Amino acid sequence: MSIVNIASYKFVSVPEPELWREPLKDRCIALELKGTIILAPEGLNMFLAGERPSITAFLEYLQTDPLFEGRFEELEVKESFSENQPFGKMVVRRAKEIITMRHPMTPCPSKKRAPAVSAQKLKEWLDKGHDDDGREIVMLDTRNGFEVELGTFNDAKSLDIEMFSEFPEAVQKLNAEQQLAEKTVVSFCTGGVRCEKAVLFLEEMGLPKVFQLDGGILRYFEEVGGAHWQGECFVFDDRYALDPALQPTSKIRPKE
């Protein structure tokens, strides 16, 4: 498979996102990359696809160009592969948030990273049925309802939401019903960006042991496969969904 697909985000202060929009788009077009980059004062979120040399060149540009002042030197990237380009065009857009929650975070994700558990450690916990302290684990799916229908972790709690901005109200209701403070809560999403905010919100709620799955479902598939997972994972391009081997499934994206 000749096309490299990358997903990455970083919460970092971006004082004037509009100044980055055209340079980023121009560089992607010059490298024949396609996908989506979202810029906001709180950071960057991107899904890109192209041939390996172009992906490598673009990541080097992000990490070394003076325009970005070293903000992306430690950018973490998830990779998967496809035979064809899964995006139809290149879009770089300005937004208020790189993932819309509509809830002010104190501290914001660019100042404090949410506690995380690695894919390997999570698998250990799920294999045992509890964390290292013997606490019951609740897997909390922060994704939208249609994503959950395609696949999720075994016995995961979902919130029946249509958009992430509904998360705060929905998780407070779940906490009232499930008494999450007595358990270890591991939130997860596709690539991790939603959980950066979700876990900080759970901490605001006063929950004592909350973690995000580091790197999200895609990193979990990459490092440990499909253990404790059922179904597929929705992705935001024309591949529609990936199986635990990070291969596109036979599903076809519905026409809008």
Q: Which residues are catalytic?
A: 189
Phi and psi at 138, nearest 5°, equal -115, 115
Residue type, 207: L
**Order of strands, edge to edge, in the sheet holding 43-51?**
77-82, 3-11, 43-51, 34-40, 90-94
d(CA 141, CA 249): 21
Sequential DSSP letters for 183-223: SEEEEE-SSSHHHHHHHHHHHHTT-SSEEEETTHHHHHHHH
pLDDT tens series, the chain, 256 aa: 699 999 999 999 998 999 999 999 999 999 999 999 999 999 999 999 999 999 999 999 999 999 999 999 989 999 999 999 999 999 999 999 999 998 887 667 878 888 999 999 999 999 999 999 999 999 999 999 999 999 999 999 999 999 999 999 999 999 999 889 999 999 999 999 999 999 999 999 999 999 999 999 999 999 999 999 999 999 989 899 999 999 998 665 555 4
User: Structure tokens of 192?
Assistant: 């991790």
What ranges in 7-105 are assigned the alpha helix state H? 18-30, 52-64
Of 46, 167, 44, 149, give the one whose Cα is nearest residue 101. Answer: 167
Q: How far apart are CA 160 and CA 151, in angstroms?
A: 14
pLDDT of 107 reads 64
Amino acid 104: pLDDT: 82
Q: What is the pTM of this model?
A: 0.89
CA angle 137-247-223, nearest 5°? 40
Q: Residue 251 has what pLDDT?
A: 63
**β-pair type (77-82, 3-11):** antiparallel
- Domains for the chain: give ranges and CATH numbers: 3-94 (3.30.70.100), 116-242 (3.40.250.10)
Omega cis (within 30) before 86: no
